[in-house]
Amino acid sequence: MSTARTTFPIQREPELLGQTVVVIGGSAGIGLETARRARAEGAKLILTGRNPERLQRAASELGALSTATFDATDPVPLERFFRDLPAIDQVMVTAGRPYYGRLADMDFAQARRALDGHFLLMLQVARNAAHKVRPGGTLLFMGGTGARRPGIGLGIASTVTAALPALTANLALELAPVRVNLIAPGFVDTPLSASLLGDELENRRNQLRATLPIRRVVGPADVAALAVHIMTNTALTGATYDVDGGQQLVAAS
């Protein structure tokens, strides 16, 4: 005798309902995808970016509360932006890009901008946002896993990779009860990756599909899913969360 099993759909409220989420670098790539997912979970959005046309398209798609166009690595407009904000619940920062170069060929101005775009940006956002974020909310920054192995041309990227988790942990203690967390992706298939790799993009995708344990390329939606989970799980602070499809587990090539 068999017994029929009745299943019921799980119903829940959106996890960010009524919260205001700020995404710095929210007009493309990981930032835009995180904004989409946060909006689907009921969040109100404030988006920033450097490109006004792209930012406006993102804002129109997502019904953002407001936008601000500025370079996040410039401390003056960054401070002004946070000063004029109302109380908010979450901040995600995706601005900044990696810098690769051998010591002999290194452009020190670009290297300095890369360091500023990670270390100093993180400190500036933390100082300016700390009194705007409601207790239990998180400041969420981006690091990486790709430069954890030493390599020629990875001096700056490796330094950033190693330093940001320590800074995250210290800020989590200093800013509590506001939470501070770091996401560390490997390769993510974004417009930034396309601009960095150019004609080699498809070769890189194929290589990752063949070698990663997950047998596919990590995309912005994978990182966005982790980001929203960190926003909603108020037990998470001071930690680094890898999302690289197992890239660290396979031999470097």
Give the residue-averaged pLDDT of 226-246: 97
User: Is position 223 within any domain?
Assistant: yes
Q: Which residue has the higher pLDDT, 112 or 165?
A: 165
Q: What are the angstrom distances between the C-alpha of 208 and each of 27, 33, 190? A: 26, 21, 14
User: Is position 8 within any domain?
Assistant: no
Question: For residue 252, what pLDDT is reported?
Answer: 64
List, as one string, the DSSP characters of 72-119.
TTSHHHHHHHHHT---EEEEEE---------GGG--HHHHHHHHIIII
Count of structural domains, the chain: 1
Question: For residue 9, what pLDDT is reported?
Answer: 66
Question: For residue 70, what pLDDT is reported?
Answer: 95
Query: CA angle 133-139-145, nearest 5°?
Result: 175
The pLDDT tens digits of the residues spanning 43-90 come to 999 999 999 999 999 999 999 999 999 999 999 999 999 999 999 999
Q: What are the angstrom distances between the C-alpha of 169 and each of 20, 139, 151, 215? A: 24, 12, 26, 32
pLDDT tops 80 at residue 25: yes
Handedness of CA 122, 78, 101, 246 (dihedral sign): positive
User: Is position 2 within any domain?
Assistant: no
The pLDDT tens digits of the residues spanning 135-156 come to 999 999 999 886 677 778 777 7
Question: For residue 149, what pLDDT is reported?
Answer: 76
pLDDT tops 90 at residue 95: no
User: Is position 148 within any domain?
Assistant: yes
User: Is position 9 within any domain?
Assistant: no
Distance from C-alpha of 26 to C-alpha of 44, rounded to nearest angstrom: 13
Give the residue-averaged pLDDT of 97-101: 71
pLDDT tops 90 at residue 161: no
Residue 89: give the domain boundaries: 20-242
Distance from C-alpha of 71 to C-alpha of 79, rounded to nearest angstrom: 11
User: Is position 247 within any domain?
Assistant: no
Determine which helix (DSSP H) or strand (DSSP E) holds 30, and give its type and residue range.
helix 29-40
Question: For residue 231, what pLDDT is reported?
Answer: 98
User: Is position 228 within any domain?
Assistant: yes
Model confidence band, residue 15 (pLDDT cutoffs 50, 70, 90): very high
User: Is position 248 within any domain?
Assistant: no
Question: For residue 135, what pLDDT is reported?
Answer: 97
Reduced to 3 states (helix: H, G, I; strand: E, B; else coil), residue 158 is helix
CATH for 84: 3.40.50.720
